[in-house]
Structure 1
Amino acid sequence: MLNKLIVFLVIGIFTIGIISISTISDQFANAGSTKKVHFTQTITSSQDPGQGHENHQLALILSPNEGTLYDGSMTFTSSDPVQIVVLHEITSQDAKGQPTWTVDGKTVYGLSLIDLKEKSGSFEFTGAALALHSPNSKEFTSTVSVDGWIRGQPTEVIMQKIELEKEDPSLFLSRANVPATIPMHKGIYNGNQVLYIITDGSDEDFAKTISGKQGWNVEVASAISNIPENTLQKIFIFKNGVKGDGIYGFQNEVFSSTPSQESQYSALNSVIEVTWKKGQKETIFESATDIITAQENGRIEFDETGIVLNTPQITWPDGTMKVRSDKEIFDDMQYGGGQIIEINKEEMTVTFVAHRGWGPDGRTIYYIVTDATPLGPAETMGVVSSPTSANLIAHSGAVDLFQFKNGIKGSGPLGYQAGIAGAALDDKNYSPMWRIYLVEWNDPESAKILETKADIDSFRADGLLSVSIARPLNSDHIVNCPFIDPFQ
């Protein structure tokens, strides 16, 4: 339901409107094209709308407006230590390394940030806007007195009392969705080519080796080292033999299944290293069956390493992951419809949409989505169906990921705020396999932005929200969404 709200609007203020100063209109004295401004006002901060400042608080004192310049002095007292922000009107071409502030990435302001680390003070200013700022998410209240001048256009600041419709609260993070370009490898299944990526490994040294070879980080996920056998397929990696493009410089890796063998396929692979014995005629193997036969005949040796790799297949002999029809990536784009923007076979790269969320301690994380179970959610997201993943529903090889089904609108998969993970990269319990829980506010109108697992636990203990395991189609729900650094 939309609520009616009476607000004060400064003509020319950003459409997001951070605060209103209801007493300014009668405190300007005409001086030709220059106006005198002097007022005292108590203001409460709100979320900073600037890109990269989503977890900060801002109290706008003098709003930016094209062609307007303020100068004068300001004295303040605040409930918390604050920083002083002065914005400067520049063009995007002028932004050449200096700190900037922008809401939409188009209109850019130079940013002067004066960190007094004090609850009160005085400051002389000249610029296109003036504000108080806090680098954390806690709301603060300040009383400010301003004495100065406004120059340029507009020649008047007009205050109007108008009736607006207040939309449901929302939080669309900046860079909520970004491209992540990942190197692909060539593999083989029954004599045909497979293209796949490597995102995670259970062994740190092995992950470092592959990271160096592919020039893209393979994350360490020790939690998948004891994945049950019925959730794994096999990948055969060659340590000698015919030269080629494989991980060790020999023939391409061989897989035991592809997504076409839906009941068997898993992106999680048990690594078997293959070594040709001396005196044997080296050939190229094209199937897991041929490899096993050669091992039984004594031509090759196996090293069942115990290492598990997350190797989602991008293309296989009779299929491919869905590529989005809309190639544009933006903050509030639809979550479904495919997770891939481009498969570039010439450059041997694939570009995923990387989604932003929060780690358990509130740090930013990004993840891609490659496969899921059951079939319905997998098809909705445009990823591979992997029923074997359901074997992890009660296993430590899967970690909890909390998604919101009501409350603050945002860029999460269900249309609400971004999710919160139970582990982050470098955590001992990190895994690319996620057990999904749904967070539901008992009173959606009282919903707040949550950023940590402790936030969820606290509000749940207070009876303000409920948490339940997701069971779409009354089925166990596991999603393979490896955490990555999309900016490497």
Structure 2
Amino acid sequence: MFKNGVEGDGVHGFQGEVFTSTPAQPDIYSALTSHIHVMWTDDATPSVLTSEEEILSAEEAGSVTLESLDVVINMPQIVWPGGQMNVKEDKTLADDTPYGGGQVLDIDLDEMTVTFIAHRGWGPDGRTIYYIVTDATPSGPAGGMGVTYAPTSASLIANSAAVDLFQFSNGLTGSGPKGFQAGIAASAPGDKNYSPMWRISFIAWQNPAEAGLIETIGDINYYKEAGLIDVNLARPMDSDHIVNCPFIDPFQ
């Protein structure tokens, strides 16, 4: 991020940000970005720098200084050189719309806007929440949902930066990713442990014919202790399963 220099559409009003990776480099790409402020020195002539290499060369030449920030921002890339997120072909949305096929309805580069599908779920206390899906690991679920494959997210599986999201593998029909009821998140914005990075578990009813609606973390614990449901960490493709699902307010 540039704090001075050539004016532009960057966060601070100067040239645009320079990313060190894109989804075309899945082994190193992450939507979770650390940030470094770039500042031109007083005796330097600012120019537009377009790569990490150019920035480091300018630092070595004494033209810019770099300041690492203790900040991480969730910045999923929508369009990158040679690629972009999938745009869903069938834009008709209903309660029974399949979860897969893409999470983006429109990308408008002229207006610099992107329209995501908002998924409904429940927060830990049963309040309605909405979220979007931007990237996931492993490749199977990412491809099925039509989002960016981000294998580096697997490193969060046992980290506090990932929070539990419970989906359903049977029971009541609904808008969840497997066609059953909507999921339940273990935290929501405003909670100390909130994170957009979700560690997925699946809930299965012992007797699907007797399934009821589960809306809270308390409900999950009750039915689990009663032996009516099983709760298991998702391991698709025998791999750690993390999904980037930022909560949003679709009514803003």
Q: How does 1:211-222 map to 2 (within 5 A)?
A: none
Name the counterpart of 1:460. 224
Q: In the alignment, which of 237, 244, 247 is matched to residue 8 of structure 2?
A: 244
**Partners in 2 of 1:262 and 1:302 — Cα distance?**
26
Amino acid at match of 1:327: K
Cα distance in 1, alignment partners of residues 148 and 175 from structure 2: 22
**Counterpart in the other structure of 1:431:** 195
Structure 1: 4+ residue segments shifted above 2 A: none
Shift of the alpha carbon at 1:486? 1.1
CA distance in 2 between partners of 1:384 and 1:312 (Å):
9
Alpha-carbon contact 2:157-2:240 (below 8 Å) kept: yes
Q: For residues 317-369 of structure 1, what are the alpha-carbon distances to aligned partners after superposition, in whole Å with 9 as ceiling and x for unaligned?
A: 10010001111222210100000000011111000000000000000100000
Distance 2:219 2:172 in 1: 15
User: Does 1:253 pair with 2:20?
Assistant: no
Say which SS state the counterpart of residue 117 (structure 2) adopts. Answer: strand
The alpha carbon displacement at 1:296 in A equals 2.5
In structure 2, the partner of 1:323 is: 87
Check if 1:482 corresponds to 2:246: yes
**Structure 2 segments unaligned to the other structure (5+ residues):** none
SS in 2 for 1:325: coil
2:158 is aligned to 394
What is the alpha-carbon distance in structure 1 between the residues aligned to residue 76 and residue 88 of structure 2? 18
Counterpart mapping for 1:4-403 below 5 A? 237-403=1-167
Q: Distance in 2 between matches of 1:272 and 1:329?
A: 40
Alpha-carbon distance between aligned partners in 2 of 1:435 and 1:485, rounded to the nearest angstrom: 22
**What is the CA deviation profile of residues 70-112 of structure 1, one whole-angstrom value per residue up to 9, with x for unaligned ones?**
xxxxxxxxxxxxxxxxxxxxxxxxxxxxxxxxxxxxxxxxxxx
Quick one: which amino acid aligns to residue 309 of structure 1? Answer: I
**In 1, Cα distance between the equivalents of 2:194 and 2:52?**
30
Alignment-mate amino acid for residue 249 of structure 1: G
- CA distance in structure 1 between the partners assigned to 2:79 and 2:112 by the alignment: 12
**Given residue 437 of structure 1, which amino acid in structure 2 is its aligned partner?**
S
Give, as a single letter, the amino acid of the residue that structure 1 aligns with 2:124. P
* Superposed CA offset, 1:343-397 (max 9, x none): 0111110000000000000001000000000011100000000000000000000
Q: Could you tell me whether the CA contact under 8 Å between 2:35 and 2:72 is conserved in 1? A: yes
Give 1:293 shift.
Answer: 1.9
Taking the aligned partners of 2:248 and 2:24, their CA distance within structure 1 comes to: 26
- 2-structure distance, mates of 1:367, 1:342: 17
Counterpart residue identity of residue 396, structure 1:
S
**SS of 1:253's equivalent?**
coil
Letter in 2 for 1:276: W
Give the letter aligned to residue 340 of structure 1: V
**Aligned counterparts of 1:459 and 1:245: Cα–Cα separation in 2:** 51
TM-score normalised over the length of structure 2 = 0.99
What do residues 35-86 of structure 1 show as CA deviations (whole Å, max 9, x unaligned)? xxxxxxxxxxxxxxxxxxxxxxxxxxxxxxxxxxxxxxxxxxxxxxxxxxxx
Specify which structure has the higher proportion of strand: 1
Asked if structure 1 preserves the Cα contact closer than 8 Å seen for 2:23 and 2:150, the reply is: yes
Give the structure 2 partner of residue 445 of structure 1: 209
Contact 2:163/2:186 (8 A) holds in 1:
yes
SS of the equivalent of 1:403 reads strand
- Cα distance in 2 for partners of 1:345, 1:432 equals 25
Which of 1 and 2 has greater Rg? 1
Shift of 1:294: 1.4
For residues 178 and 91 of structure 2, the distance between their equivalents in structure 1, rounded to whole angstroms, comes to: 21
Q: Which residue of 2 aligns with 1:411?
A: 175
By relative contact order (CA 8 Å, sep 6+), the higher-ranking structure is 2
Task: Provide Cα deviations, 1:145-177, integer angstroms capped at 9, x if missing partner.
Answer: xxxxxxxxxxxxxxxxxxxxxxxxxxxxxxxxx
Q: 2: CA distance between counterparts of 1:368 and 1:278?
A: 43
Letter in 2 for 1:294: A
Counterpart amino acid of residue 368 in structure 1: I
Conservation of the 8 A alpha-carbon contact between 2:95 and 2:174: no
Measure the CA separation in 2 of the matches of 1:337 and 1:343: 15
Q: What secondary structure does 2:200 align onto?
A: strand
Cα separation, 1, equivalents of 2:56 and 2:93: 44
TM (normalized to structure 1)? 0.51
1:469 is the counterpart of 2:233:
yes
- Aligned residue for 2:79, secondary structure, equals strand
After TM superposition, give the deviation of residue 255 of structure 1 in Å: 0.2
- Number of equivalences: 252
User: 1:257 & 1:473 partners in 2: Cα distance?
Assistant: 25
SS at match of 1:292: helix
Residue identity matched to 1:379: G
